[in-house]
Every structure is written in structure tokens, then in C-alpha cells.
Structure 1
Amino acid sequence: MGDRVLSDMFAPSRVAVVGATESEGSIGRAIVENLRDDFDGETVPVNPNYDEVFGLRSYPDLASAPDVDLAVVVVPPGAVVDVVRDAGEAGVPNVVVITAGFGETGSEGAARERELQSVADEYDINLVGPNSLGVMSTPVGLNATFGPENALQGSMSFMSQSGAFITAVLDWANDQGIGFRDVVSLGNEAVLDETDFVRAWGDDPDTNVVLGYLEGIDDGQSFVDAAREVTDDTPIVLVKSGRTDAGAQAASSHTGSLAGSDRAYQAGLEQAGVLRVETVQELFDYAQMLAGQPLPERDDLAIVTNAGGPGVMTTDAVGDSDLSMASFSEETLSELSETMPEEANIYNPIDTIGDADVERFRTALDLALADDNVGAAVVLSAPTAVIDFRDLAEEVADLQEEHGKPVAAVLMGGERTERAAEVLGEVGIPNYFDPARAVRSLDALATYRDISERTYEAPTEFDVDREQAEAVLARAKERGDNRLGVEAMDLLSAYGIPTPESDIVDKPEDAVSVAQDIEGEVVMKIVSPDILHKSDIGGVKVGVGNEDVYDAYEDLVTRARNYQPDATILGVQVQETVDLDAGTETIVGMNRDPQFGPLLLFGLGGIFVEIIEDTTFRVAPVSEREAREMTEEIDAAPLLRGARGREPADVDDVVESIQRLSQLVTDFPAILELDINPLVATPDGVQAIDVRLTVDTDKL
């Protein structure tokens, strides 16, 4: 879709409401009232049935109205397309369609939505919706929604695919004193979608954090590309609902059954640098920390508390995170020893004990933040008679600014914490009741620091034989089948993935001839696109000597015929034996996700892969760094590195094989699923022992 300029949408001088009315309980009335109450610019009602609305002159159509920057459309579904066309003719650059009754209602509505999209494209209109709650922008008081209240002003921009979610969040956020810059209800996303707003807010210097509630992403790869660029400077935090494995139900490969729809989202969002959260609480816990606090230079956390129990809880939370407890320097410990009571604990966590006043808290926090071994701090206080939370908040705010290190506050209590939380909030320090929330938020801050510092590497382009690969894939189309097995080993060879010496034969005497040319005993496998799990039916024979090859061929074919009489039998593969005990069996695979495209899998392989499920995922194409991370993330990674006295596998060859498979499935969109299982990793390199894939023959 390309980058769109959306600044006029959020800073309009004049907003038209098409369908404005004074009718009680109507959406057209609610939007005009919301604009009238707070909007800095001019509100222009458009309705041929009125001369004025709430004292504002009303125009019969957009053509007769003065030039507007944003039109909000609240007319019956059948009239929307004509209104948007009128907006295009009038040169209106931005339109929000509130009206429902489009793609969400069935085939007739979907056809109307396609027409709406076509008109918007014709006139190059930035269109939000249809079926949208509307948009907000607090710097200009813009509330072009039919929600019950406006947002407070802040530096976070928020988008949602659910309008109801926005009204609930705003009600809660206003109660919590949490503000926003821009708010968008995405609606049906006929034109503008989440990727457009990620790009727009990434270019906005006044948006410090991008937040979102998403149920789906239509173009996952475009979103990843946009978000990867934006997260260099602006954090993105998303709630992604719909954690289902429905996509795996129709999968036939190991990779397909392990992938599931949510795995693609998780992999894509991680690669894009997006912080994904599970709850609304986490969304705003992280957002407030990211918006208000500097990035830590190190992951070592100091805890200053007046309550031993909550201090232990905080320490446990650190243990559950990727942060660590800071070890204070001897100088810090010496000064704490001199300034704290004898009963206090000067080691981390610093327990100033229950009679600590604000000055003792200040001294302890000042020494902790001054220590070069400390990257961030949690200040935790239970209410006591000698602590005034507001005074403590002012001291914490001063020390955070003085030392420039991130601080989270945990002032535990009810009403007495409210004013203190306001004091802290004014300088961007979040206050949490639960210490675990504070630690998780600081952990998110450290994670974003790592995201902002990483460098994107372009995928390696290997020299491959595309013509040979095309010829192998064409075989499926020639025989009218969409599945290939070991007969596709040449596909891997074409892309430089090592395979053992082998051949496929359709006569027992040919099997004997091939085996005689291979040194040592051979492995023999039935070759049939209809028999996916060959081992389950005895369709694989290992360690076959030359004298037994003829009989082994006959036995394999007989077993296959007995198991599935109507199966297509292409022959038997005779393959060089690879010593599995000398290496580690891994799996490398791909399942093509409808939103994100090729989803790569790497993990511990073999016949129990779906039982063990020791796997990790990435969206292709992947860089060398991303491929290497995959080899490090699985639980069985120590096996590759040489655990228990084993000689280390050639991990570089594993990494290269992942990259080469990534290039293969990127080059050929017709490949829907692919498994290399096992890919045996030994100290001398890798060997792809078996392969199976599913293709879309219409794309070949």
C-alpha cells in the first residue's frame, strides 16, 4: 500500500460530520457533541434535512461545505459509497466511516465494502473503517467518535480492531490517569490497517509508545517490515487475541501440525521487535514504563523496601524474569552500613525496616542508584505511621531524574497512594500495587533496549540451481499429485542441502544394482505420496546387505500394498546408511501461514518429534543471525554443542541448512509444507535423510 501521510487526520482544522443530527440517542448527534465539546478546530455538520445542528450551519453535501480535512460518515450503509465518492470529488483527504453493515454482515455487505475500497483507492482517500468507533487526537481535542468520553492527553497512541474495547479501555484509563495521543478504531480495515498506523506513529516524534489490540493481521510480512523499522526508535506493545491451533487441523506434515496459527504471529511479532502481552493490565503496565522511563544500561536490579515480605516477593519476581539482582560494590555496602540501622539489611534487597522515614528511604535509594552495578531500581513501601507516600514520591522522582536510571514504584495501599501516584506519574514513574508487575515492566524495558540496539541483517543469497528445483516440483503436477516424498531429494540438493547418496528404483534387480554401487549396507524406503509415515507400516528397512536387497524390495512393496491397496507406489529408495548414533537428529521444516507466509521450524527431530515438541519458529526469509538463534533456543541445544562428552556437531552447517531452506521456500510460493526429518547433524556436517512436502500445483 505504501507509506501514507496521516498527519492531517490527527490534526485537522475542519471536520465534517456527514449525517449530523440532533436526534436523541443517535450516533450522528453523539459525534457532533463530542467535537463541539473539545475540538480546537471547526465542526461542519452535513445533512440536507437541517439548516443547522446545535447552532452550527449545516450543509446539504460535502460539495457545498467549506474545505475539510476529515469527514466522519454516519449515514445508512446504502448511502456510504456515494458519500465517500462525494468526499473524493470535494478533495477530502481523510474519511472515517462509522456506519456498519459491510464485510461483517455477509456477501451483500462484503460487495459494498469492495466498492467502498475501490472508490477510496480511486480518489486516494485515507479511509478508516467502515464499522469504526472513530478516531481521537488529544493535542487538538479531536474526539470524532461516538464513545462516551474523550481520552486524557498523553504520549501513547492506541489502535484497536474492537471499538467496544476502546470504550472500555478509555473508561479504565481515565480512572487511572493514563493518557493518549491518538486513538483509532480500525473497524473493517477496508483501506487503512494496523500497518499504516504503525508507520504513521513511528514517524510521529510525539508518539512515545504504540499500543494495539489486534485479532488478526491480514498482511503479516508487511506488518513485520514496518514494525521492524519503527521499533528501532519507538516501542510497540500489542495484545493479540485468538490463540488457536485451528490452522494445524488441516496440516499433513510434522511442521504443519506443530505450527498452528498463533505460532506464526508469535514468531513474526518477535522478529519485528514487538512486545506481545497477554492482558490489558500488562499492556498498560509496559506502556507506562516504556513511555516514562529511560532505557537501562544493564539488567541488574536494586530493591529498596521497608517491608521484608514484599521485598522477598520482589526478589522472587526478579528470579522469574530475565533481570538479575544487583551485587552492590564494597563502597556502596560500606556507606549503607554507616547510614542504615543495625537491624537493616544492606544487601540487595535493601530492607530499611518498618520504622524507616522518608529520609532513610532517600539515602538508601540514592546509594543504590549511584552504584555502577545497578541498572534500575524498585522502590517498595508498605504504609506506616512514619511514611508520607507523597513526600516519598517526591524524593523518588528527584533521585530518578538525578541518576537517570529507570525506577518503578510499589507504594502498596489504597486511597493514601493516589496523590503519590500522581506525583510519580507527572515525571513518568509508574506505581504498581503488585511488585511482580513492577519487575515485569522493568524487564520489558530491558527487552526493548535489546530490540532497539539490534541490527537487521539481510538474508544470505546462496548460489542455487533453480532450474533443477523447478523440474523436481513439476513432477507433482505431471502426475496430478500435490505431495512429494523422498523422490524430491534432488530439490534439497539443488539448494545445497547435503543428502546421502541414493536412487529410486521400480524393479528389485535395479535396487540390487544401486546397492552394489554404495559402500556398506543400505537403507531402503517405500516411495509413495499416499503413505506419509513410512516407519509406522514397516516401510523402512535399515542395514540391508547386498544379498538381502532383492527380497527387501519385494517385502516393502508387499507391505505397502497390504496397508493401502490403492496407494500410488513409485518404487523404493535405496540410500547410503548414515550413522544416526554419531550425530543428533533434528528437523527443519516450513508451513506456509496465510498471514505471514513461510513459517520455518527447527527442533529436535526423529520419529517422536510431535510428542517431544522441542521446536522454535521464525518467519522466512531469515538472516544468519536468526537461523543461529533457532539452533540456540531449543531445549536440546546442548546436544548440538557436545553435551555429556559427545563431540560437538557442526552447528554452522545446521545454520546454513536453515538459511538454504528459507531461501527455497521463499523462492517457491507453491511449496505449502515441507519437512526435512531427520536432518542429522554430526561433527563432520549435516545430512538430510528424508523429506516430504506439499505443493499447490496451480502455482507451479
Structure 2
Amino acid sequence: MSTINLDHLFKPKSVAVIGASNRPHSVGHVLMKNLLAGGFDGPIMPVNPRSQSIGGVLAYPDVNSLPVVPELAVICVPPQAVIPVMKCLAEKGCLAAIVLTAGLGSEPFDEKRSIKQAMLDIASEKKMRLLGPNCLGLMVPGIGLNASFSHQNIGSGKIAFVSQSGALCTAVLDWASARDIGFSHFISLGECDDVDFGDVIDYLGSDPDTRAIMLYIESIHERRSFISAARAASRNKPILCIKSGRFAEGAAAAASHTGALAGADDVFDAAIKRAGVLRVYTVSEMFSAAETLSRMRPFRGDKLGIVTNGGGIGVLAVDALIERQGHLAHLDPETITALDKVLPATWSHANPVDIIGDAPGERYAKAIETVLTDSNINSLLVMHAPTAITDPVEVARCVIDQIKHSKKNILTNWVGEATVAEARNMFYAAGIPTYRTPENAVAAFQHMVNYRKLQDLLMETPPSVPRDYTPQTDKARSIIHTAIHAGRDMLTEPEAKAVLECYGINTVKTIAASDIEEAVRTADDIGYPVALKILSDDISHKSDVGGVVLNLDSGEEVRAAALKMQRTIEQKFPNARLRGFTIQEMITRAGARELIVGMTTDPIFGPVILFGHGGVEVEVVRDRAMALPPLNMKLARELVEGTRIYKLLKGYRDVPPVNLEDLYMTLVRLSQLVVHLGEVVELDMNPLLADQHGVIALDARIKVTPKVVSDDKRLAIHPYPRHLKQELVMDDGTTYLLRPIKPEDEPAHYEFMSKLTPEDIHFRFFGSVRELPHSEMARQTQLDYDRDMAFLAVVPDGPEQGQIHGIVQVVIDPNNEHAEYAIMVRSDIKGRGLGRVLMEQMIAYCRRKGTETFIGQVLPSNRRMLTLCEKLGFSRKYIPDEDVFEVTLPLQRDAH
């Protein structure tokens, strides 16, 4: 993940084309033609040893003959010529290249490397950025750059399109050209061997010329960089994606129900939802959504009002809304009374507000004015069907005049084609979203609703974990390692339940017995009724083979059931090793729901948590939702609410609701288990019984591996870095808990801010700030620990337990070059050295992380901070235009 030298790729001042050609229809010919026709105002330097000029432009025989170092090189030579070209470009100092050539991975360069790997090694050594190979190229219309072999040029716009598929690029170009849609960037990634989605999203996220980012994704190579970049960028602008391969099946040989249920597309959905990316399913839907979201006003609710001159199109809109699980607003009685005064008596008297087919623009304006005052209506769809006695242009003009100052989101749908074309153009010109069909208009509204939900999820402060506890991680790992050392990759049911108990997850008492008589004695000890199950490493789903018998009421019944199980296994599975039986107490809870909770390991996004309808029919019902760990209580609730069974869990008729807090807590604790225990690759609890008293796992299955990778490579989202917690003792004896910030710290952060003087707030924010809005506070507390960090000094006990006395925070750029810091210490405890200790801790953290420079901006009047920076070895430089000192501390000087 890096934006190093991407300016040379996306904003070059000169371009060299290696492999330029005069041969018609060749890649080198089309590329030169596109570059020359695009209007790029920098030098374009074709390289071809056999031609004096290409397209009328002086050509050069080789890279070494170029008169200037090209900022961007476009390579379209045969595979065997790529490495000599790359070496020359690297020696000359070129820092960006587009490699159009395909097939480099299958061509050997030497005994150990393919041509592709040799190319990447050269680029890596010189920090040269590569787009491709096997790509279409890129276009940046704003600077006239068309460095592609596309069949047509494009206009300038505010939308960026990024695709792994060259074929889809050409199709989208045709689609957009026919609709006069322009782009800020049009990027074909190809094989993504260097520049990947994460790099491009990071770059475009801070690009002022890009208002929305659209992605076509076939696969994700760097999961954490993708999610980190998308989470950061999606806070500033909409990101939309289409994903191919939606119906690819998961692993057929999964050892658990969770593994069998977790399809690749479900996991992808969970990942992009966590990243704040909105998924769409067609190209036209993508462009429509991008246009809608980029023009969206602040969105405050999901209830839609409709004003129409045709009842039929209004009903179509309602049908589409309900089908998409949207919400139609109910009109207040006051609104209906007000509409009675301005509309014909035959109007619909409900939402949709049908103002009758002969409605002129004035009637539309009065109806819209009245409806927009209704607090139940958050957004409004204005619809019009042409009639012989109305003028769609006159109606559009009145609508535009009426809604141009509205703070609510307004969408329009003028049904038809030629008759309403001019009216649609008027809406386009006025910046008002307009759509051809009721279905498209409603889809656009739901895009706004879903996008707002994603943003709220990124910004929402999760509730604190209701019960504090310390998991027994070492004990759980010991159980797992015992199985691994015995050569097993599946824990026995008692072992699996013991691991779950280490994390506070409630399980039914289960005891293993090596033979039938021990099983009978164990059942006597537990007390009847009991459940009897086979114990075998070779049989995963016991109920499928008659290996589970419930409600046994005596020793005789246990003995008979065990004998029958043995005979069945010997006859049907002679090679299965039967280690004995497990006996557990019968749990009978009237009205309890059977759920499944588990995790599996996705090949792209790593561990993923599953929740859904459980029981023996789990794979038939297939009611489930997924989420990436780590989870908090808020994310756990979102996961549960994503299933159909959630409605039943809330209770109905005389069935009480289940204890949802206990269910959410179980999911959070499972998440912690997944984060802590990298040995666990698959797990499920099925069934997990849930009722008003809580949840309990009746069965458990855990698959493990001895090949544990680090969390940096295993988890798609960086977990809370609990290892950075430490006790801090000040010179005066005051003790603090120094720890990374959590999203749950937002309330305490507000309290901390209330203890700051106006002067301290001015020093921190360079202005007067009464109270930070929730969106800004969420940015400060909800960090991507991969690239940001904040340490709190928290009072560990006593009357002020949990209060924050100091905060130091850094924002680290994607290249890990600069860490920009900010620090605040509570005003009433200044002068005790806490600020210096916090700065030293953060400097040490950034130094360990490999960050090159620690920087900040300090107001000249903040003498205390300037003095501290001087003592810590910072240099400073006054910036007159901003009236601040920039302070800088090199962190890696010893390494050089």
C-alpha cells in the first residue's frame, strides 16, 4: 500500500512510448495516435529503432537516446524485450511505467524468475511504479492524457473508473460516450502486480478532481490495503463497485457447517460493507448511483415522499420501493389538510400524492412546497407522465424553481423519451438527479439510503462491552496445541467446548467416554435425560450418520444407543476411527431458537464470522450473514440484523424475545477468540440455543492448523493493538494506563474536551471550537491502526477512574514517510510532564513502525509546545503564509 511516485503515473509532465509503431492497428500505433489526439501538452517521445518518426513525431532508437528523463513510460514491446527496457528506464531515473505487454508471468527470465518477477524486482529497487502488466492503460482527461490503446477518447468529468478487466473498460467507454459522461481518471489495472486497488483508492481519495470512485473488481490481492484505503476514502467521497464471480461456490470439503455456508460472494459483501463501499450490479446502475451520491445533500432519514400526476407510475414507484425494502412516508393530517386547499378534490389524499393528470407547473409547485414541510418525509420523488394538456418543460421549470433551495434530497422522474428530453436536460443543467423510469428513480433513492447506512456504520460509536472479563487465552492455546501435537486438525467436542469456555462462551456440559460402560457411568453422574454422540476424528457431521441420539432417560437406553452407533459406523464407515462417545446433559428450552454461530477462513479476506438460522437444516435454509472480525457490540448487532431469523428473535405473539445482548456478547467473544488464536481456521456452534434467558452452545466443532501466520497477514482489518497497553508512572507518583484509543472512548473524549481551556483548544485546532461534531469525533476515535494511532493517558482507578488526562495522535501517510502528530493534555494538570511522556511514547511507536519523519504544526504563541519540541530534538521552520512553525523530527537517521 503506497502512493509513492503515483503523481508520475497520473500527472506526468512527459511521456515516452517504448514500442511505438507506424504499423496500422498495432498497439504501439493506436497508443501513439491516442496520446497525440488527447491534447497532452508535455513531450511525447516515441521509441522505435527502425523508424525516424512515429505519427509525425521524431522517434528515438532506444531509451538511452531520449533527450529528457520521461516521467511516465508506456511499454508495449514483446515479452523478451521488457527487461532490457526496464533496466534502461531504471538507470535513467524514470519513476512510473505502464506495461501493456501480456504473458510475462509464463515467460522465464532465468532459472529462478519469470520475466514478470524480474521486472518487478527492477521496479522495486528504484521505487518505480508499474501499472499492469496486461492492461489497457490509463486516461486522465483533465490533463489531456490518453496513455491507452482504447478505441476512443473520453471527456473530462468528476468520476474515476478503475477496472481489472480491459474488456469491461472498452464496454464502459462505449456506454459512457453514448451518454456524454466524462471521467477524472479511467484506469485499467491489469494484473495489479504493483499498483493495486488500495494504492489507487488512496490516491483518488485525496484527489480534488474526483467526486466519486467506481471499481470493477475480479479479485482482491492485498486485502488489508484495500480495506484501509477504502475506509479512509469513503469518508470523503462515494466508492461504488461491481464484483464479478458472484455465484462462485465455496469449498466443497469444508469441515464445518460454517465452511460449507460461507460463499466467496457473501464474504466479499461483508468486507466492502465494513469498508464503506456501496455495491451495485450493473454498469448503468453504477453510473446512476455515482451521479446521485455525488450530488446528494445531507441525508437525514429513509422515508420517501412521492408527488405525481399519474397514479399508475406512482404505484410502480411504491412497488419498486417496497421490493427494495424501502420505506414510504405517511403524511401528517396537517399536510393532508394543507394539500386539500391547493389540490383538486380528487387528489389521492395519501402518499403518493397524485395531483391528477392535468396538473400544470403551478400545481406541482404548491404540492411540493406543502409536502416538503412534512417532517415524516426525508426525501421527495417528483414524477411526471406527459399528457396532451400539460407541458413537461413548463412543469420542469416550475419544479426547479420550487426545489432549488430545499435542504431535502429531491429526485425526478419524467417518464417517456422524446417528449420529455428537454425537461430532463433542464434537470441535468440544474444539478437535480433525474431518471427515465420509476424503478431507476427508486433504485437511486435506495442507493442514498444504503450509502448513508454505510457512512453511519463507519461513524457510529459502538456501545461498551457490558461485562468486562479476561479470556483465558493461554489455556485455550494449550488445548489446541495438545491436539496439534497429537497429529489432529479437529478438536474433540469436549476440547472445542473447553476452548469456547475459555472465552466466556456458555456451552452445555459435555464429557468424553472411551467405551460404552464408561458412557453409561458418565450419564449416571450427569443425570438424565442425556444426549449421546459418537467421538471420531474422521466424522465431522455426526447427526448425518446417526451419530447423535437425544433424550436418553436411563443407562439401558444409553447402552443400546451406543451399541447401535458402533454397528452403524462399522458397517457404513469401516475406516472411521471411533474414539468413544461424548455425553452431555439435555437442555430443553421451550420456544428457544436454534442458531448457528461460527467462523471460517476465506482465501482472500481471511477469518470471517458467520451468524444465522441453525439446526440440522442449516444448509437447506441458508439464512445467514457474515462479518469480518474484530467485532464490537454494534457490529455484532448489525450482523444479527442481516438475517431473516432476526425478526423471530425479537419475539412475536406469546413468544418472548431472546436475550439479544447475550447473543451480541457471544459474537464479540467469538471475535476475540478468532483474533487471539491464529491456529483456529474453522469453527461452528450449531445449534446455539437462544431464548430470553441467554444463549448456550449445544454442539461445537473447531478445526485447527499448526501453520499460524501473523495477524498482519491473517486478518483483513487490524485488530485493537492490546499489546501496546502499558502502565505509566509519573515522577510525582501518578499512575496512568497508557493505551490505544477505542471507538467506545468517544463519550470520555467529549468529557476530556470539556476540561480544556479556550486557549488550549485554540492551540490544538487553530481556532475556536465549542464542541466537535460526532462525525469529527468518530474520526478521532475510530482508527485504522494500520496507518493511524492515538494513545490515551487514562486514570486506572479512584474517583476519576476512566477519565482521560492526555491524548497524543498521529496520522501516518500511506507510504509511512510522515507521521503528523497532535497532542492535548487536560488544562488543569499541565506542568507535570505528561505531555512529554506522551510525545516520547508516540515517537518510539513511530520509530518502531519504520516511519521516516515525525512532524507537526505549532502556533507561535504556543511557547510550551515549541519548548518541548526543542528539548526532544525537533527542528523548526516558520511558514509565514500560515503563521505557524512546522516542527520536524527525523526518526530513522540511525538506520542510515
Same fold by TM-score greater than 0.5? yes
Q: Give 1:500 deviation, angstroms.
A: 2.4
Can you list the C-alpha shifts for 1:629-673, whole angstroms capped at 9, x where unaligned?
223332222443343423443322222222222222333344332
The answer on whether the counterparts of 2:524 and 2:555 sit within 8 Å (CA) in structure 1 is: no
d(CA) in 2 for partners of 1:622, 1:557? 42
1:6-56 per-position Cα deviation (integer Å, ceiling 9, x unaligned) = 344222222222222222112212222222122332122223333332332
Distance 1:200 1:77 in 2: 29
Q: Which residue of 1 aligns with 2:99?
A: 97
Return closer, same or farther for 1:504/1:332 CA change in 2, 3 Å cut-off: closer
Shift of 1:107: 8.1
Map of 1:641-656 to 2, 5 A cutoff?
641-656=650-665
Distance 1:631 1:130 in 2: 42
Q: Which residue matches 2:549?
A: 541
Q: How does 1:492-531 map to 2 (within 5 A)?
A: 492-531=500-539
- Distance of aligned partners of 1:246 and 1:317 in 2 relative to their CA distance in 1, 3 Å threshold: closer
Residues 433-469 of structure 1: per-residue CA shift (max 9 Å, x gap): 2111101101111221222233266897963223322
Please, which moves more after superposition, 10-19 or 438-447?
A: 10-19
- Map of 2:13 onto structure 1: 13
Aligned to 2:70: 68
Secondary structure, in 3 states, of the residue corresponding to 1:673? Answer: strand
Please give the secondary structure, in 2, of the residue aligned with 1:417.
helix
2: distance between equivalents of 1:482 and 1:107?
Answer: 38
Match of 2:327 in 1: 324
- Measured in 2, the distance between the counterparts of 1:643 and 1:189 equals 51
| 1:84 alignment partner in structure 2 | 86
- Describe how 1:266-665 pairs up with structure 2 within 5 A: 266-329=269-332, 332-345=335-348, 347-454=350-457, 455=459, 463-488=470-495, 489-545=497-553, 547-548=555-556, 549=558, 552-581=561-590, 583-665=592-674
- The two structures have a TM-score, normalised by structure 2, of 0.73
CA spacing shift, 1:335–1:199, aligned 2, 3 Å: same
Q: Would you say the 8 A contact 1:476–1:482 is kept in 2?
A: yes
SS of alignment partner, residue 383 of structure 2: strand
Confirm or deny that 1:250 pairs with 2:259: no
* CA distance in 1: counterparts of 2:559 and 2:185, whole angstroms: 74
Displacement after TM superposition at 1:570 (Å) = 1.7
Contact preservation (8 Å) 1:232, 1:451: no
Report deviation, 1:295. 3.6
2:48 equivalent in structure 1: 47
What SS does structure 1 have at the residue aligned with 2:161?
strand
Give the conservation status (yes or no) of the 8 Å contact 1:295–1:449: no
The one-letter code matched in structure 2 to 1:222 is: S
Indicate how the Cα distance of structure 1 residues 119 and 668 shifts in structure 2: closer, same or farther if over 3 A, else same: farther
Query: CA 1:391–1:26 in structure 2 vs 1: closer, same or farther (change >3 Å)?
Result: farther
- 5 Å-filtered alignment, 1:228-247, equals 228-247=231-250
Specify the SS of the correspondent of 1:248.
coil
Amino acid at match of 2:285: E
* C-alpha separation in 2, matches of 1:582 and 1:388: 61
Residue range with higher mean Cα deviation, 105-114 or 53-62: 105-114
Picking from 182, 206, 212, the partner of 1:209 is: 212
What's 1:139 paired with? Answer: 142
Q: Which moved more, 1:292-301 or 1:545-554?
A: 545-554
Q: Secondary structure at the match of 1:464?
A: coil
Alignment CA distance shift 1:418-1:603 (3 Å): same
1:25 aligns with 2:21: no
- Aligned-partner residue type, residue 82 of structure 1: P
The residue type equivalent to 1:311 in the other structure is G
Q: Per-residue deviation at 1:183?
A: 0.8
**474-483 vs 548-557, greater mean Cα deviation:** 548-557
Contact 1:627 1:659 in 2 (8 A): yes
The answer to whether the 8 Å contact 1:676/1:692 transfers is: yes
Amino acid at match of 1:49: R
Aligned to 1:662, the other structure's residue is in SS state helix
> Gapped runs of 5+ residues in structure 1?
none
Identity in percent: 36
Equivalent residues of 1:674, 1:691 under 8 A apart: yes
Displacement of 1:191: 0.8
Residue 194 (structure 1) shift: 1.6
How far apart are residue 580 of structure 1 and its match? 4.5
Cα 1:482–1:85 shift into 2, 3 Å? same
Q: 591-600 vs 73-82, which deviates more? A: 73-82
| Equivalent pair of 1:288/1:428 in contact (CA under 8 Å) | no
CA contact (8 A) 1:221 1:595 kept: no
How many Å separate the matches in 2 of 1:73 and 1:397? 50
Give me the TM-score of the superposition, normalised by structure 1. Answer: 0.92
Aligned-partner SS, 1:361: helix
Q: Write the deviation string for residues 346-380 of structure 1: whole angstroms up to 9, x where unpaired.
A: 64323333333333333333433354443222222
Does the residue aligned with 1:154 lie in a helix, a strand or coil? strand
Conserved in 2, the CA contact under 8 Å of 1:591 and 1:673?
yes
Note the C-alpha offset of 1:236: 1.2
84-93 vs 19-28, which deviates more? 84-93
Measured at CA, do residues 517 and 301 of structure 1 come closer, stay the same or move farther in structure 2, by a change above 3 Å? same
- Report the AA paired with residue 403 of structure 2: Q
Judged with a 3 Å threshold, the aligned counterparts in structure 2 of structure 1 residues 123 and 323 are, in CA distance, closer, same or farther, namely same
How many angstroms does 1:184 deviate by? 0.4
**Shift in Å, 1:526:** 1.2
Letter in 2 for 1:586: L
Letter in 2 for 1:306: N
| 8 Å CA contact retained: 1:400, 1:406 | no
Structure 2 SS opposite 1:313: helix
| CA distance in 2 between partners of 1:622 and 1:83 (Å) | 49
Change (3 A) 1:585 1:315: closer
Tell me how far 1:264 sits from its aligned partner. Answer: 0.9
Moved more, 280-289 or 517-526: 517-526
Cα separation, partners in 2 of 1:362 and 1:63, compared to 1, 3 Å = farther
- Structure 1 pair 397/638, CA: closer, same or farther in 2 (3 Å)? closer
**Which residue of structure 2 aligns with residue 164 of structure 1?**
167
Counterpart code for 1:655:
Y
Tell me whether 547-556 or 680-689 shows the greater mean CA deviation.
547-556
- The 1:44–1:92 alpha-carbon spacing in structure 2 relative to 1, beyond 3 Å, is same
Write the distance in 2 (CA, Å) between the matches of 1:106 and 1:371: 67
Compare relative contact order (CA 8 Å, sep 6+) and give the higher one, 1 or 2.
1
Structure 2 stretches lacking a partner, 5+ long: 710-896
Answer whether contact 2:250 2:261 (CA < 8 A) is retained: no
Q: Alpha carbons of 1:537 and 1:302: their partners in 2 closer, same or farther (altered >3 Å)?
A: closer
Distance 2:93 2:505 in 1: 56
Structure 1 residues 260 and 574: CA distance shift in structure 2, 3 A: same
Indicate whether 1:59 and 2:60 are aligned. yes
| Alignment check: 8 A CA contact 1:102 1:108 kept | no
Measured on the aligned residues, the alpha-carbon RMSD in Å equals 2.8
- Indicate if the aligned counterparts of 2:493 and 2:700 stay in contact, CA closer than 8 A: yes
SS of equivalent to 1:278: coil
Deviation at 1:232, TM superposition (A): 1.8
Residue 388 of structure 1: how far off its partner (Å)? 4.1
Question: Higher mean Cα deviation, 281-290 or 415-424?
Answer: 415-424
Aligned length: 699
Report the alpha carbon displacement of residue 159 of structure 1 after superposing the two structures with TM: 0.8
